Amino acid sequence: MTTRTAPPSTSRPAAGRTRSAVLGTLGNVMEWYDFTVYGFLAAAIGAAFFPGTDPVAALLASFAVFAVGFVARPIGALVLGPVSDRRGRRFVMLLSMLLMAAGSLVIGLSPTYASIGAVAPALIVLGRLMQGFSAGGEFGSAAVFLTEWASRGRRGLYGSFHQVGTYGGLLLGILVVSLLTSALGPEAVREWAWRIPFLLGALLALVVLVLRRTVGETPEFEDLERARATGAEARTDSSIPVGRAFVLALGVVALWAVTSFVTINYMPTFAATFAKVPATSALWATAIGCVVAVALIPLFGHLSDRVGRRPLIVGSAIAFVVLPVPLFALLVAVPSFGTLVLVQVVFAVPTSTIAGAGTATISELFGTRRRGALVSIASAISVAVFGGAGGYVATLLVSTTGLAISPSFYIVAVALITLVAGLALPRTAAR
């Protein structure tokens, strides 16, 4: 019979919890800025490293390399996830930040195909592998770090800042690329200025790394360490079998990943390439949607502490079954800045719903002793399968079917998977 873990220590002052949450969130902002800015610059990178006469083929090649980073995520999770359960959440968060900065530096400094030939795309692949490996450890470790620092009854709220960091990183990437495009012009970005966001990201990541060194370990992990030191039996707060919990985590993260990497990260490329919305307008419209999501995520995280996680996960999945086809059809039929803003703002509501409740949901499925590894591995696999290939699958669907709205079919299919997982979540994990 399993016993429940005691709640996180309340002896830590509120200021310490707040500071840890802020620095954990800030680190996640930089981690995800570095990792996702590639998607906003896919067209420029495709032209520089995968030259050819067909721009769609170059874009597909660029998104294939984008997906490579997600292939490396499960490997990073398999290696770094267990380390977070042995050495601590903080240790992995520091290591992953260093690796992410290095990967961004490799991409930002890589010579183009015209300069060194086939070695150039190989360097881009190396940089993406480093970023993916890093993100595989960071995602789960940061999620667990924030929920384990939460005061009693506030895991949803604290965990939601994990996704404030993720979407904040997406937003920062959009803003940097948008400002560059507006100031220098699309041609300059295509020729050379695409490097600036990667170099800036590497520098800022190192700054955050230094700040993160001052953060303490989570109270729950320290309790676990004391139990190990005294030979006490490791306890768990998981109320369901690990296998079932793992499958449910995969299902919850599936749509969560698609909302990040298709409806937000891929949308500027889709709007510019297939809906013929000007690239700068597409980026600014997506930035507006991302601002809405960042503002709403903590509200839904707080709501999940009151009404439970399950209703929010299910509600978000239903919305993404119903909304994508008509919204993509509207964008294709009326391709304009205003239409894209409307689409992104509407998508932002169910996106922030699942993002606000998601971190606490998957963290609560597992016990403290193996939480870091299991959250990291489950999320990395799901993000790699459903999110990482999202841009490639969406572009391929348009190319093969000739239907500009076909990416919406992919979103609906993944939403159905998450709907099933959401309905199967245990009610006891709701609070």
Residues with Cβ within 8 Å of 25's Cβ and at least 6 positions away in sequence, in order, are 146, 161, 162, 164, 165, 168
Read off the pTM. 0.80
Domain 14-430: CATH architecture, name and number where available: Up-down Bundle (1.20)
Single out the residue of 4, 376, 31, 400 nearest to residue 208, CA to CA. Answer: 31
- Burial (CB count <10 Å: 0-12, 13-18, 19+), residue 32: buried
Residue 56: C-alpha distances to residues 18, 185, 278, 319, 426 (Å): 46, 21, 17, 30, 44
B/e letters for 343-352, b = 16+ CB within 10 Å, e = fewer, are: bbebbbbbbb
The structure tokens listed for 222 are 């320290």
The structure tokens listed for 426 are 């245990």
Q: Tell me the C-alpha distance between 133 and 96, whole Å.
A: 8
The structure tokens listed for 60 are 């597909």
Single out the residue of 259, 226, 220 nearest to residue 90, CA to CA. Answer: 220
Residues with Cβ within 8 Å of 232's Cβ and at least 6 positions away in sequence, in order, are 226
Q: How many separate helices (H) and strands (E) can be counted in the chain?
A: 19, 0
Q: Tell me the C-alpha distance between 51 and 57, whole Å.
A: 9
What is the residue extent of each domain of the chain?
14-430
pLDDT 10s per residue in the chain (431 long)? 344 444 444 455 555 677 777 877 887 788 778 777 887 787 788 888 887 656 777 777 777 787 787 788 889 999 999 998 888 888 888 898 899 889 999 999 999 888 888 888 889 989 989 988 988 888 888 888 888 888 778 888 998 998 898 888 888 888 898 889 888 888 898 889 999 999 999 998 888 888 888 777 887 777 777 777 776 554 555 567 889 999 999 999 999 889 887 888 788 888 888 888 888 888 889 889 989 999 999 999 999 999 999 999 999 999 999 999 999 999 999 999 999 999 999 999 999 999 999 999 999 898 878 888 899 899 989 988 888 778 788 888 988 998 989 999 999 999 999 999 999 998 754 44
Q: Tell me the C-alpha distance between 394 and 390, whole Å.
A: 6
Note whether 114 and 51 are within 8 A (CB).
yes
Q: Tell me the C-alpha distance between 180 and 199, whole Å.
A: 13
